[in-house]
């Protein structure tokens, strides 16, 4: 049985260096004070810290597929992928530049030795009064010829208040559910769809349960008529695990969800709920709440020994 180690990580503001020629003028003005002191040396250190973690995943072999968010452009993701060369992988990047007000996007890094990409990218920019965050979809084909549809998500933040901003996340959840329905109409109900991301809501939030139609019930996904998603984070939530900590509040806002095509036991994939976890290595958390150690920025709370304000999540998916 082939194994697919798939991970997700919000990298916390992986910006290109200050004064980058790849940055549009409007964004340069918007980020001028925020990126003060974000030099090439600081960017290299940030990438080195992230790379150190990624290289330890999958028993030191690195992930087969890695979804990331809060990356400014394809250049920084390429730099990150190049930093992983020591793993013997041949990583490629899938990215689409969005109009987010802070220039942060979603990207997918995959091992070209294990997967073929059809070169198509589907994306959706979440609109508030202006574009913010996005959903990114790409199809990868395994060495056995099985299509695995990957959807990376970064939903609107809670900035301004959890309940005040909830309608935006509900809107995106509804959009995600519509995408799932359309994929199944085109590819069939057994399409293997792997959804991961920073949802800025927890598994029990309405944006995920009522709008994205995710559930903790495996049977509901397998036998239900609606395009349900099986949310794999419920067991970790029950163990009081968290991917993000705000003050003293531990939150499971980074999640992995899968479609019927992956969940059903007669499908092409073997899903083991126990193979879902949070990647934590030495120095990544601190304090009584296991708060992720942030890298920050020279303009605000810089810690060169930090990583990100989120912890990576991962799972191992078997292919029959």
pLDDT in the model for residue 189: 92
How far, in Å, CA of 182 to CA of 38, rounded? Answer: 42
pLDDT in the model for residue 127: 63
pTM, whole model, 2 decimals? 0.96
Tokens of 92: 């490629």
Each residue's pLDDT tens digit, 280-292? 999 999 999 999 9
pLDDT in the model for residue 258: 98
Return the bridge partners of 185, or none. none
Q: Which residues of the chain have pLDDT under 50?
A: 130-131
pLDDT in the model for residue 128: 62
Tokens of 86: 């020591």
Structural domains of the chain, ranges and CATH numbers in brackets: 2-319 (3.60.10.10)
With 0-12 CB in 10 A as exposed, 13-18 as middle and 19+ as buried, what is 306?
A: buried
How far, in Å, CA of 144 to CA of 131, rounded? Answer: 38
């Amino acid at each position: 049985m082939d194994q697919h180690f798939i991970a997700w990580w919000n990298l916390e503001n992986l910006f290109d260096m200050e004064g980058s020629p790849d940055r549009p003028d409007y964004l340069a003005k918007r980020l001028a004070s925020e990126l003060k002191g974000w030099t090439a040396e600081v960017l290299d250190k940030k990438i080195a810290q992230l790379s150190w973690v990624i290289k330890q995943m999958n028993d030191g072999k690195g992930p087969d597929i890695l979804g990331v968010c809060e990356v400014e452009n394809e250049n920084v993701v390429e730099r990150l992928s190049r930093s992983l060369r020591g793993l013997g992988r041949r990583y490629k990047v899938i990215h689409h530049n969005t109009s987010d007000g802070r220039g942060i996007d979603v990207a997918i890094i995959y091992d070209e030795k294990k997967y073929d990409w059809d070169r198509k990218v589907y994306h959706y920019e979440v609109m508030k009064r202006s574009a913010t965050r996005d959903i990114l979809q790409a199809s990868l084909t395994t060495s056995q010829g099985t299509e695995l549809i990957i959807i990376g998500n970064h939903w609107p933040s809670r900035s301004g208040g959890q309940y005040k901003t909830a309608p935006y996340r509900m809107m995106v959840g509804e959009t995600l559910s519509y995408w799932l329905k359309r994929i199944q109409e085109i590819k069939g109900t057994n399409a293997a769809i792997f959804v991961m991301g920073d949802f800025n809501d927890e598994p029990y939030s309405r944006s995920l349960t009522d709008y994205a139609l995710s559930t903790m019930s495996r049977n509901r996904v397998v036998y239900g008529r609606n395009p349900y998603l099986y949310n794999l984070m419920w067991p970790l939530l029950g163990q009081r695990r968290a991917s993000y900590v705000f003050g003293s509040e531990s939150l499971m806002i980074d999640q992995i969800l899968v479609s019927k095509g992956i969940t059903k036991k007669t499908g092409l994939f073997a899903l083991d709920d126990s193979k879902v976890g949070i990647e934590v290595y030495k120095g990544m958390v601190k304090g009584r709440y296991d708060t992720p150690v942030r890298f920050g920025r020279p303009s605000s709370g810089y810690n060169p020994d930090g990583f990100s304000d989120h912890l990576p999540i991962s799972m191992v998916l078997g292919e029959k």
